[in-house]
Amino acid sequence: MTVEPQVEKLRQAVIAGVDDLTRLQQSFNELEAAVNLSKSKSIARDLLRARAAREAASEEILKRAATVENLIDDYRTACDRWYAASIEQSTIESRKFYAQLAELQSKIVVINQRILEATEKEKPDVDRIVEENDFHFSCLRGMAETTAHIVRLTDAAVAA
């Protein structure tokens, strides 16, 4: 079962949100470096501006992180719904196949019963045909032996 478009959209939104957070983190790290640089230069105005920018970036990271967490929760919920629906659909399909299998097996039982009945019905004819075949084979063997005996006698008479 393929993934629903809504689940895929949420997955893409989570990926984009995480990428955005990564970029914000890099920006925050740059601002943190600016704060540290301002501390080392002891320039109060630059330090205050850098701290304010860092604080704003920190708040933006927290907001975006909350958004990403909500997206992750939505994505997880959508995946759970999709998974449950997939399992349910698979179960329904599996039950259909088992029902078809049971139907086919019952037909096979009927066919096997018919085969047994036909075998029982035809058994006397088959036994008679086998018996007649054995009789004819015995007759042919006897005729072949008689023919071979006549040929030997004829050969012996001609040779004498």
Domain ranges in the chain? Answer: 5-159
What pTM did the predictor assign? 0.52
What the block records as the tokens of 107 is: 């037909």
Alpha carbons 88 and 24: distance in angstroms, whole number: 41
Report the pLDDT value the prediction gives residue 1, as an integer from 0 to 100.
60
Alpha carbons 123 and 130: distance in angstroms, whole number: 10
Instruction: Indicate if the alpha-carbon torsion angle 18, 22, 23, 25 is positive or negative.
Output: positive
> What confidence tens digit (pLDDT) does each residue in 22-48 have?
988 898 888 888 888 777 777 777 778
Please name which of 1, 19, 21, 22 lies closest in space to residue 79, comparing C-alpha atoms: 1
> What confidence tens digit (pLDDT) does each residue in 43-81 have?
777 778 778 888 888 898 899 899 999 999 999 999 999
Please name which of 125, 116, 120 lies closest in space to residue 133, comparing C-alpha atoms: 125
Q: Give the DSSP letter string of 50-68.
A: HHHHHHHHHHHHHHHHHHH
